[in-house]
Amino acid sequence: MVTDSTAALNPADAAAWGVEVVPLDVVVDGERHAEGVDLGPAELLAALGRGARVTTSQPPPAAFAAAYERAVAAGAREIVSVHLAGGLSGTVQAARVAAATVPVPVHVVDSGTAGMALGFAVLAAARASRTPLVPAAPVARGVRGWWHGRFARPTTPGGAEVADVARTVAASSRVWFLVDSLDHLRRGGRLGATAAALGTVLGLRPILTVRDGSVVVVEKVRTRRAARDRLEALAVADVARRTAARVAVHHLQQPELAAAVAEQVSTWGAQRVVEAITCDAGAVLAAHVGPGLLAIVVADA
């Protein structure tokens, strides 16, 4: 399993499930940093605060090729590589270019999303890769059918099956988020000028989502407190439509607020929320959304 740093995976979880994380780059005043390696969200927010020029860059194909080669050297017969939405970054395309150079099949998945919506898909695929599949007994009756059912050996899923799990969970995910200012999204080309004007000219607090790989406005609310309440309500309503759900609350240097939101959604979600976590959004997402990010991700469990 391979993914990129925008999945916002806890390093311990990535290590436990054998997921290699390829970092995106953040360039601050011309100096290149690897996300999560030598630059975190706190340093990125400090750079934005002092007016530094900040851009982000996808990993080169060589970075993915190196990750794939390490997997092959460790004995991998197939690789599943799940990434940030192609509509937001060229990361997944760089992975595809690298995949063509590897001597084993590489199943590259465009998650169509970001953050823990991507992270949940990666972890679900990793779990699936370790879940044995027991072949069904043949329809034929008699001793032969009984023997097959009694002694059939479990098999592990193939790369295509594991990739399908990632696609399914990613497609099931929904994400809603708030930011203090829409200027960062506008300057980065992730949000049109008309939509960005909602916050700067009209003074509204738009609730945003990622849809088909693009950032779009879902609703417009007057105050941040009202927007936070609406954010929670949208997540709870979405949880109620699922049999079981995983919830993640992203933040930028606001762990207490994120924990309160996660607890609220879990409480309102009753027995359907099987996991609720909080996590920092990371430097790349911080560079594009700016300070004040609060996001809720809901995905099928």
- Model confidence, pTM: 0.87
| Mean of pLDDT values over 222-233 | 89
Give exposure, 262-271, as e/b (b: 16+ Cβ within 10 Å). Answer: bebbbebbee
| Mean of pLDDT values over 57-73 | 97
> Does residue 6 contact residue 285 with C-beta atoms inside 8 Å?
yes
Q: How many CB atoms lie within 10 A of CB 42?
A: 13
pLDDT at 293: 87
The answer to which of 52-66, 86-100, 180-194 has the lowest mean pLDDT is 180-194
- Phi and psi (nearest 5°) for 3? -145, -170
Confidence of residue 211 (pLDDT cuts 50, 70, 90): confident
Average pLDDT along the chain: 86
Token digits for 10? 């806890």
Provide CB contacts within 8 A for 240, sequence distance 6+: 269, 272
Q: How far apart are CA 34 and CA 26, in angstroms?
A: 6
pLDDT at 194: 47
Q: How far apart are CA 194 and CA 247, in angstroms?
A: 31
In the predicted structure, residue 199 carries a pLDDT above the cut 90: no
pLDDT at 179: 81
pLDDT at 182: 66
Q: How far apart are CA 36 and CA 210, in angstroms?
A: 23
pLDDT at 210: 82
- How, if at all, do strands 20-22 and 2-4 pair? parallel
pLDDT at 185: 56
pLDDT at 279: 93
291 vs 194, residue with greater confidence = 291
Q: In sequence order, which ranges of 81-175 are alpha helices (DSSP H)?
A: 91-99, 116-129, 143-151, 159-172
pLDDT in tens, 14-43: 999 999 999 999 999 999 989 888 888 888
Within 13 Å and on the Cβ side, how many CA atoms surround 190?
A: 27
| Mean of pLDDT values over 208-229 | 82
Of 178, 284, 293, 296, residue with least CA distance to 235: 296
Q: How many CB atoms lie within 10 A of CB 92?
A: 24
| Mean of pLDDT values over 186-206 | 53
